């Protein structure tokens, strides 16, 4: 598991607890953050194949937590499976959404979070 962090693209971070993985990226450009996030998901899939581990993409989702509005939700996939966009994220019992005080909660985990993947 110690080599898992090597799968993260530059600017992408994660928090891992038991079998939950919270992957996040923060950037002024949503396109840039999505590109970094997608690269990381490709690397994670390769890592899982190497270690013969399985992430269930049907349990994965992504969310954009800034106050900005966007008209089209970019397509993000894990192992070819499109990940659904959600309005909020629940990680370790904490709800992250555009409407709550994410700033306080996110300081617990580090920089602003962008997305979650749960195996």
Span 75-100, pLDDT tens digits: 999 999 999 999 888 888 888 887 76
Span 28-75, pLDDT tens digits: 888 899 999 999 999 999 999 999 999 999 999 998 887 777 778 899
In DSSP terms, 16 is beta-bridged to 21
8, 43 in Cβ contact below 8 A? yes
Two structure tokens written together for 111: 């920089």
User: Pick from 36, 42, 38, 44: which is nearest to 5 by CA?
Assistant: 44
What is the C-alpha separation between 119 and 59, in angstroms, rounded? 7
**Neighbour tally for 81: CB within 10 Å:** 15
Question: Is the pLDDT confidence value at 106 over 70?
Answer: no
pLDDT of residue 55: 92
pLDDT of residue 40: 97
């Amino acid at each position: 598991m110690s080599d898992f962090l090597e799968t993260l693209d530059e600017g992408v971070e994660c928090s891992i607890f038991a079998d939950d993985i919270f992957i996040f990226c923060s950037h002024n450009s949503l396109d840039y953050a999505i590109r970094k996030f997608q690269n990381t998901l490709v690397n994670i899939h390769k890592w899982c194949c190497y270690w013969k581990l399985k992430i269930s993409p049907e349990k994965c989702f992504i969310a954009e937590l800034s106050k900005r509005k966007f008209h089209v939700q970019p397509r993000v996939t894990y192992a070819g499976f499109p990940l659904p966009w959600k309005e909020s994220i629940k990680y370790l019992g904490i709800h992250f959404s555009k409407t709550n005080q994410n700033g306080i909660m996110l300081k617990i985990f580090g920089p602003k979070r962008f997305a979650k993947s749960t195996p």
